[in-house]
Amino acid sequence: MKKLILYSISLLLLVSCAKNKTPEGILDEDKMVELLVDIHMAEGLVSTFPIHYDSSKVLYPLFEKEIFEKHQVPDSVFRKSLEYYMRDARIMDRLYARTIDSLHVIEKSGNQ
């Protein structure tokens, strides 16, 4: 009986550990945060330009393309990863909490 309980607990632990792994083709959380920080920085920058909305819609994709090149991540992988993480609100909440924290650090370091 003890062996059965021990085996069951071991199996449960293995299954739960495997469940936390990011599937192949999906960016890990750290890389997603890096990309989200840069994307939000680019959005903020474009929004400060004294140009019309139509012009900013043309300009922003150029910034976005540079971000993906900087991180060596295709935009399709980013979008697929974003869709994957958006399936779980807790994960997205954690990702955006980290993104906001990083943006606050950048803001404070820029103000000093």
Q: What does the alpha-carbon distance between residue 40 and residue 99 come to, in Å, rounded to a whole number?
A: 9
pLDDT digits (tens, 9 = 90+) for 32-68: 999 999 999 999 888 888 877 777 778 888 999 999 9
Sequence-distant (6+) residues with CB within 8 A of 103 are 37, 40, 41
Q: What does the alpha-carbon distance between residue 70 and residue 64 come to, in Å, rounded to a whole number?
A: 10
**Model pTM?**
0.75
Rounded average pLDDT over 69-87: 96
Tell me what pLDDT residue 64 has: 94
Work out the angle at residue 12's Cα, subtended by the Cα atoms of residues 98 and 91, and round it to the nearest 5 degrees: 15
Contact 63, 73 (CB under 8 A): no
pLDDT bin (cut points 50, 70, 90) of residue 14 is low
Tell me what pLDDT residue 58 has: 81
Highest mean pLDDT among 12-21, 38-47, 66-75: 66-75
Contact 95, 106 (CB under 8 A): no
Rounded average pLDDT over 82-110: 94
pLDDT at 98 over 90: yes
Q: Is 63 exposed, middle or buried (0-12, 13-18, 19+ CB in 10 A)?
A: middle
- The tokens for 100 are 């906001």
pLDDT at 17 over 90: no
pLDDT bin (cut points 50, 70, 90) of residue 6 is very low
Q: What does the alpha-carbon distance between residue 61 and residue 82 come to, in Å, rounded to a whole number?
A: 17
Tell me what pLDDT residue 40 has: 94
